[in-house]
Structure 1
Amino acid sequence: MTLQLDSLKPNKGARRQKLRKGRGIAAGQGASCGFGMRGQKSRSGRPTRPGFEGGQMPLYRRVPKLKHFPLVNSKSFTVVNVSALNDLKAGSTINLDSLVKSGIVTNPKSPLKVLGNGSLKVKLNVQAAAFTSTARSKIEEAGGTCEVLDLGS
């Protein structure tokens, strides 16, 4: 006998017959079909979506609010405080390259952000990707300027 598409069938016992529900008490799954008497889980259709916890905040929404879950699109900066800029020459233009040459920044991997910790007594023209509001006010109080550079993204 040759193998033909119309002669293919599963082995004996490989496929069980579908259980016929709601066909009387003698059928074994009559009346309520094994779903019990009443309630949400006895109704037709899927009663709740996967992960539903009765209105409580479900686990998949609680977990990312805990510690040690990184932000998805976090921005990273090379940070410098205003107090570190006091040693620089007055009137000079300060950017990431000049800070590396002066030795204030040693390992620049991301754009420069100036933070406002400390005080500034020197007039500087600072070019950075971002400034905090206190850093901006301290630089401008000292007579300097703040120029925001584009991140290039």
Structure 2
Amino acid sequence: MELNSIQPAAGAKHAKRRVGRGIGSGLGKTAGRGHKGQKSRSGGYHKVGFEGGQMPMHRRLPKRGFKSHLLQFNAEVTLAALEKLGAAEVDALTLKQAGLIGQQAKVVKVISTGKLTLAVKLTGIGATASAKAAIEAAGGSLA
């Protein structure tokens, strides 16, 4: 193979569509835009969600619910994740370094999903009632 014989794969390159360049091109006169109307004009098009003046869907439907911006500071850890971590003493910093919770998390809670066989000492971390029972049954503690 020589550098001067290298070619792109067949079908990889194709000529750009040159519109408005005469009848012979097949894309002259209206340049493939059809006749009249908003879509034929330069700078004339609608914004996302515009329904031709009809009240748009996102304004016809009622607003519902609320999502607190404080939720980004809450995090959950499963018993299975604690088992996989395998540390004897666990606090929020340990979980952040292991990537089990986000860096912004302030309030951490253990939930009862999976099984725990290791004795784990939790400091500064909450737990649900069933998770607390499971941790204490495995010989761990919450502080």
What TM bracket, shorter-length normalisation? Answer: 0.3 to 0.5
Q: So what's the TM-score if we normalise by structure 1?
A: 0.44
Q: So what's the TM-score if we normalise by structure 2?
A: 0.47
